[in-house]
Amino acid sequence: MSRIGKKPVELPAGVTASVSGQTVEVKGPKGTRRFTATDDVTITLDGSTITVAPRGASKRARQQWGMSRSMVQNLVTGVTQGFRKELEINGVGYRAQVQGKVLKLALGYSHDVDFEIPEGVTVTAPKQTEIVVEGIDQQLVGQVAANIREWRGPEPYKGKGIKYKDEYIFRKEGKKK
């Protein structure tokens, strides 16, 4: 039995949801999000709660049950609070700044890296060594943060590169004489 799937999703004040077939649409103060579930689950709206139930006892139906409930919860969280990833830049001369719809990164290459900011997310650089990615779509926020980090991932010897704020970099010892 899915422990996550059993819990109903509560809709906070100011959030409206509509269920039509397998599609759930949630509207809130930050915007509108929608999710289409597979035919293995049934989604019902009862007042201010959304419940997800499997349509059978198959393994796939049980897998989709918990996943679909988590996706609906992420819709509600996205339109109320939004999602946020914080990145930190370490290294001499490494810095970032936002110019319009482009994130300019100086990462030790012979040229600056111009990262186009996609629609649906906002990228800010409060300091030269910090990048904040925010949006209402958890998958898009995480993917944009991963794409930025990919330009210069943290290395284990000096810790230089772009890392997540809460990430721990396992440090290695250098060469010995």
Where residue 104 sits, what CATH number does that domain have?
Answer: 3.90.930.12
Q: Is residue 114 part of a domain?
A: yes
Helix, strand, coil percentages (3-state) for the chain, rounded to 5, are 20, 40, 40
Q: Please check whether residues 125 and 140 belong to one and the same domain.
A: yes
Give the integer Cα–Cα distance in Å for 74 and 9.
10
Question: First and final CA of the chain: distance in angstroms?
Answer: 58
- Number of domains composing the chain: 2
Q: Please check whether residues 123 and 151 belong to one and the same domain.
A: yes
**pLDDT digit of tens for each residue in the chain (177 aa)?**
668 889 999 999 999 999 998 999 999 999 999 999 999 999 999 989 999 999 988 999 999 999 999 999 999 999 999 999 999 999 999 999 999 999 999 999 999 999 999 999 999 999 999 999 999 999 999 999 999 999 999 999 998 999 999 999 999 998 887
Query: 28: which residues sit within 8 A by CB, 6+ positions away?
Result: 14, 15, 16, 76, 78, 79, 80
Q: Please check whether residues 72 and 95 belong to one and the same domain.
A: no
pTM above 0.85, yes or no: yes
Alpha-carbon distances, residue 40 vs 65, 75, 96, 120 (angstroms): 8, 20, 45, 29
Give the integer Cα–Cα distance in Å for 139 and 142.
5
Domain C-terminal end among 62, 80, 98: 80
Q: Is residue 177 part of a domain?
A: no
Q: Is residue 170 part of a domain?
A: no
Domain C-terminal end among 52, 80, 108: 80
Q: Please check whether residues 104 and 51 belong to one and the same domain.
A: no
Q: Please check whether residues 57 and 107 belong to one and the same domain.
A: no
Q: Please check whether residues 117 and 68 belong to one and the same domain.
A: no
Give the integer Cα–Cα distance in Å for 141 and 11.
22
Domain with 136 in it: 83-164
Q: Which amino acid is at 102?
A: V
Q: Please check whether residues 101 and 51 belong to one and the same domain.
A: no
Q: Is residue 144 part of a domain?
A: yes
Q: Please check whether residues 89 and 158 belong to one and the same domain.
A: yes
Q: Please check whether residues 153 and 87 belong to one and the same domain.
A: yes
Q: Please check whether residues 99 and 118 belong to one and the same domain.
A: yes
Q: Is residue 59 part of a domain?
A: yes
